[in-house]
Structure formats: C-alpha cells, structure tokens
Structure 1
Amino acid sequence: MSGCCGPAPDGRYSEIFDERFASSIARRYRRRGLTAPEGRIIEALSGLGLHGRSVLEVGGGVGELQLELLARGAAETVNLELSDAYEQQADELMRASGVDGRVTRIVGVDLAAASDADVARADYVLLHRVICCYPDFAGLLGAAADHARSAVVFSHPARNLFTRAVVAMSNARMAIVGHDYRGFVHSPEAMLGVLRAHGLALRTYERSKRWHIAVAVREPAGVRTAPAG
C-alpha cells in the first residue's frame, strides 16, 4: 500500500466511523462480497470502461469497491478518508488481494478544500454513501467534478418524508450524546445541478428503495446540457 496523511483526521467522522465500524464492513465484504448498490456502481463504472483508468474514491472506507474495480481492469485508485479508523482493515484486504501497490490511501484531506497539489485528477471520481455525511454538498460535488477527467459517480439516499425523519431523529440523538457528526438528505435536483454547472451531463440515474445512483460524464468542450426544466 502507498499511503500518506493530510493535516489530521476529522474527529466528527472518526468518532462515528471507528475501528469497530470498519471491522464490520470488512467482515461483511469477506463473507458476502459487495452489497447490491455497490454491485450496481461497479457495473456503471464498467460500462464507462475501466481498462487502464484511474479512480479517485472519496470516503471509500476499507476500499472494497476499489478492489473490485482493480480486478476489472482499473490501473490505480486513490482513496480519500477523513476518518483514520479504516486503515488497518483496508491494508489487510489489499494485501490479501495483491493490489496494494496500485492503491494510494490519503487520510485527513477534504476534497472540497483540497488544492490540485493535494489530490491529482483521475479519470473517474466515486462517492458512495458520502454526500449524506457532508454538509456542503455543492463544495464536495463541485470539487469531485473538477477532479474528474471523464465522469463522476455518486450515490445518495432517497429523499422523502421517511428518510428525512430518520435523519432528523439520528441527528437529535447525536446532539444529545455530544457528537458533532450530522447526517443530511440533500436535494437530488440541487446535487445534479452542481455537476451540470461543472460541465458534466447526467448519463444515468438509477432509483432504488434506499440508494439512488447518478452517473454524470464530462461533456465535450463547448457543449453544455441545458438545465432540466
């Protein structure tokens, strides 16, 4: 594994996405493989073409999606994390898969605040189960678009009364116990609008009960898709 650290892990995330959480994700992946939404993300990226391509994943956790992408032909991946709790499990999974030389893991760098010197551009930028954990979706998705040469793929929870109520109750519990972490159910239209403003056009948008998955691709120079009306 090639790894490096940014300024420092973000305590808001490390206290929630801790070693116990990381172990549970790694254990589930070893036993059962990818979840259904993860499988759909892999198929979406495979449809764009993976051979020789680079992938930047924001908040990739233990890196199970990256392992699958590398197995399907991706050349290299970079993982950005704000919690440092995943690193031991990620290292074990990479070594078992024999891909540790093709993965770079960076802890403590927030893509929305990163400079080009901090994080290099990649062919594809991936954000799975990340937008709902981040307050400034416009800043994060804008940075993702700017770092993507070809496409951005991201997932977000369905936005309805039920999910908004669940997140509101979870946030209330976090406040009561003194945690700074908060969850979010951002507007899908607003999120897709950010990608359009940064020169990407929506290619596919898959809805499911829990997670919606958007694939937005880089438009040719001089071409802009009109906003949806």
Structure 2
Amino acid sequence: MIRSSEVKIGQSTLLDVGSGIGAIQYELFGDGLTRATNVEASTPYLETSKQETRRRKLTDRTSYHYGDIVELAPELSNATIVTLDKVICCYPDPEALIEATSTKATQLYGVVYPRVRFITKIGLKLGNLWSRLWNNDFRMYLFARNYIDRIIRDQGFVIQNQDQTFLWHISLYSRNGEPFI
C-alpha cells in the first residue's frame, strides 16, 4: 500500500470526494498539500470536518461543497490528486461517478471500494434492508474490481499500486502512467 510519505505531496492540490470528516486532507496537509476541496453528501460529516479544519487553522486552504459530485463536478477546479474513499459503493452509476471525478485529476486518482465477497454481499443486503425499513433512500452497491478498473483505465489512467484488505480494494492510478513517486 502506498503511504503519503512515499508520494511527493508538496505543491499538490486535493479533491476529496466523499470526504467524510476530512481524514485524508489532514494527513496530506501534514505532508505539504497546498489546498483541499471536499465534496460530501452528508451534512453532519461536512460540519464536523469544517469544525476540525477551523481547529487546525486550515480554513484558508480548504473549501467545502455539499451535494452530488456528478452534478457539482463541472463547477470544481482540477486537482493534482482526486480520492474516492468508500464512495463507489454508495453511488448507483459508477461510470458517471468515475467519469465526472477522473476528469478532475491531473496526476493521481485513488479509490477504495468493497471487495465482492460473501461477507460483503450479506452486509450489503442487510444494510439496504435496514435503510428500506427506516424509509431511507440510501443504498449500497458492489462492483467487481475488473469493472471499476476498466472504467478508470478508459479515462486515461494506469494502475500505480493496488492492495486489498479483508473487505476493501485500494487502488492508486496515475494519469497516462506518469510516476508520481
């Protein structure tokens, strides 16, 4: 797995899709990231990240956008690094999601999404059942690694590093195969 210390972050910008509480940006700011743009569809996550950004005195280097990234992407600036950490599994159309976000990445494109395994299939079914029972529109999706990889490669990226855990695929791509480390 690539760690931020192995990647030249200085003078880079980040577009973090599904930014949650901002963990990726805080890690990369520590390595010299110059600017972060966060896109999140959860108001509580966005508000928590904003509070932490103020606490860390990074508000002048951080911007926030609430909503659907596919709709917001045309308004956002390109970034050196684009990340989607546990986002692909929350979006029904991975092709639209990847096309909208990958066009914003000038050098690196990183994704984390669930592996298609028996346990993740069961978890997905139970999670989606729970959402339906509580009248929540949120749904989770599983997509095969080959399918996601093909979509990203079709956008002009070359795999730079892949890893996996028990539940997750972790992939880092570079634009046109140009090394960034």
What is the TM-score normalised by the length of structure 1? 0.73
- The 3-state SS of whatever aligns with 1:159 is coil
Q: Deviation digits for residues 96-151 of structure 1, max 9, x if unmatched? A: 2121210001112x2223353x1111011001111111111111112221110001
Q: Aligned pair 1:61/2:23, yes or no?
A: no
Give the alignment's Cα RMSD to 1 decimal.
1.7
Distance 1:90 1:220 in 2: 33
- Give the equivalent residue in structure 2 for 1:138: 95
Aligned equivalents of 2:177, 2:110: Cα separation in 1: 18
For the Cα contact (< 8 Å) 1:54–1:124, is it kept in 2?
yes
Q: Does 1:167 align with 2:124?
A: yes
Q: Where in structure 1 do 4 or more consecutive aligned residues deviate above 6 Å?
A: none
C-alpha contact (below 8 Å) 1:135/1:184 kept by paired residues = yes
**Alpha carbons of structure 1 residues 57 and 173: separation in structure 2 relative to 1, 3 Å:** same
Equivalent pair of 1:67/1:99 in contact (CA under 8 Å): no
Superposition deviation, residue 176 in structure 1? 2.2
Q: Give the C-alpha shift of residue 177 in structure 1.
A: 2.3
Equivalent residue letter for 2:11: G
Equivalenced residue count is 178
Please point out which of 50, 57, 66 is paired with 1:107.
66
SS at match of 1:179: coil
SS state of the match for residue 61, structure 1? coil
SS in 1 for 2:92: coil
The 8 Å contact of residues 82 and 110 in structure 2, kept in 1 or not, is answered as yes
Check if 1:78 corresponds to 2:37. Answer: yes
Larger gyration radius, structure 1 or structure 2: 1
2:137 to 163, 180, 186: 180
Equivalent in the alignment of 1:200: 157
Structure 1 unaligned spans of 5+: 1-39, 222-229
CA distance in 2, matches of 1:144, 1:74: 19
- SS in structure 1 of the partner of residue 151 of structure 2: helix
Please give the per-residue CA displacement for 1:156-200, whole angstroms capped at 9, x wherever unaligned. Answer: 112112211210122122212211110111111111101111100
Structure 1 residue identity aligned to 2:55:
A
Q: Counterparts of 1:153 and 1:162 in 2: how far apart (Å)? A: 24
Residue type of the partner of 1:134?
Y
Whose strand proportion is higher, 1 or 2? Answer: 2
Which amino acid in the other structure matches residue 128 of structure 1?
D
Q: How far apart, in 2, do the equivalents of 1:103 and 1:85 lie? A: 17
The whole-number CA distance in structure 2 between the counterparts of 1:140 and 1:88 is: 23
- Cα distance change on mapping 1:173 and 1:186 into 2, 3 Å: same
Rounded Cα–Cα distance in structure 1 between residues aligned with 2:81 and 2:73: 18
The equivalent of 2:53 in structure 1 is 94
Give the share of equivalent positions with the same residue, in percent: 24
State the SS of the aligned residue for 1:86. helix
Please say if residues 115 and 144 of structure 2, whose CA atoms lie closer than 8 Å, have aligned partners that are also in contact: no
TM-score where L is the length of structure 2: 0.91
CA contact (8 A) 2:13 2:79 kept: yes
CA distance in 1, matches of 2:18, 2:177: 28
